[in-house]
Amino acid sequence: MFIRLVRNELEKTWRSRWIVFAVMAGIFVLIAGGLYTFYVISQHRWSPPPAVAWQTTLRDEIVANQSSITQLQQIKQQQGGGAGGQFGRGFSIDDVIARDRQAIVDDQYLLDNNIAPLQSYSITLAALFGLGGIVMFLLLRVFGWLASEQIAGERSDRTIAILLSRPMSRDQLLLAKAVASFLISLAVVVVTFLIVYAMLAFIEGSFGPLTGQIAIAVDGSKPVGSGNLVVMSIPLFVLMCLGAAMLGVLCVQGMSLLISVVTGRWAAIGITLAVLFGAALVSAIVSGIITVISGDPNSAHFLNYLFVNVLVPVSAIAPVFGNSPAAAGTGMNEFGSQLVTLGVWTVAFFAAAWLFFHRKQEAG
């Protein structure tokens, strides 16, 4: 019975919303075509570039940082040997030299221990960008819209009472709709990830190895080292990112389902999209104001307890791309914190949706 309910929900969603998925596919084709056209024009070639080993990339970064240090030291000597004044964003020349030296130490540590940085392979880049970037941000809004119609749409079409008159419980109906929404979202996310992976593999010149190990900083504000690194296999990293992305999807669907239970179709769609777009915008503005007033970019970190700010937890890992210390609040520590926050909100949303659905009387 339950499997049949889920299948019916999947078929119903496909029949009524296939155009949405077709448009999404068309957008991806246009983006891929545009990127390829830009590549051909800028690189003057039709084929992928030759692949570059990550060790070579790190050695080039070390050479570049050493050259930068030499130039900065010359500038410092010309200025009389002092700190050299400000050097962009409030940093002195000594600060920039220290940062470049730390980047050299970080890169050399990875080379000596044969640990690839996070950005070394096409598949890890695809996990970060496809599951933690603007792509996931937009997909979550689409998933929220679709989930907001699950119950509200039945109520607006006056079919909810008919469904509940069949030999099924409210729990079965609510769970079937939630499972169907999740399965559709999972399929879209996986396909999106594979498309992004293929695009990045072309840009990088190689699909890269699917096995091996990569390094992730525990705290992006601290130097890379044995006490500040998590080393994991590439498949585990990709699965971790996929799981985190789907937790964000679950949270959005839980919120949308809650709104769908208590309102009509158009109200549910409007409120859901207003929350997903508007709340994130307001939060960004508030964060900017707090940062300007306090002068500390981490003073607004408490806003990450709002679910709209942690819907894409994979983005908490992204700032560790280049091995050098990133802003405080990035890395695996922040990633784990965002997962916990998301988990609490997700459970709360689904519990509230279940409670209100049981209490609400449905008319035919």
Interval 49-93: pLDDT, tens: 777 788 888 899 899 989 999 988 888 787 765 555 555 555 678
Confirm whether 273 is domain-assigned.
yes
pLDDT of residue 260: 92
pLDDT tier, 321 (very low <50, low <70, confident <90, very high otherwise): very low
Confirm whether 87 is domain-assigned.
no
Interval 174-200: pLDDT, tens: 898 899 999 999 999 999 999 889 888
Separation between Cα atoms, residue 8 and residue 237, nearest integer Å: 34
State the amino acid at position 122 in one-letter form.
S
Of 247, 187, 261, give the one whose Cα is nearest residue 24.
Answer: 187
Separation between Cα atoms, residue 169 and residue 192, nearest integer Å: 35
Instruction: Quote the domain boundaries for residue 181.
Output: 2-47+115-359
Separation between Cα atoms, residue 184 and residue 198, nearest integer Å: 21
Confirm whether 167 is domain-assigned.
yes
More confident residue, 113 or 185: 185
> Per mean pLDDT, which range of 42-46, 132-136, 242-246, 304-308 is the poorest?
42-46
Q: Is 264 a residue whose pLDDT tops 90?
A: no
Interval 339-354: pLDDT, tens: 999 999 999 999 999 9
Rounded mean pLDDT of 292-315? 84
Confirm whether 55 is domain-assigned.
no
Q: How big is the CA angle at 178 (ends 19 and 127), to the nearest 5 degrees?
A: 70
First-to-last C-alpha distance (Å) of the chain: 23
Structural domains counted in the chain: 1
Confirm whether 310 is domain-assigned.
yes
Separation between Cα atoms, residue 174 and residue 102, nearest integer Å: 53
pLDDT of residue 361: 65
Confirm whether 59 is domain-assigned.
no
116 strand-pairing partners: 214
Confirm whether 105 is domain-assigned.
no
Q: What b-and-e string marks burial along 54-80, b requiring 16 or more CB atoms within 10 Å of the CB?
A: beeebeebbeebeebbeebeeebeeee
Confirm whether 101 is domain-assigned.
no
Supply φ then ψ for residue 304, to 5 degrees: -70, -5
Would you say 236 and 125 are in contact if contact means Cβ atoms under 8 Å apart?
no
Supply φ then ψ for residue 193, to 5 degrees: -60, -45
Q: Is 325 a residue whose pLDDT tops 80?
A: no
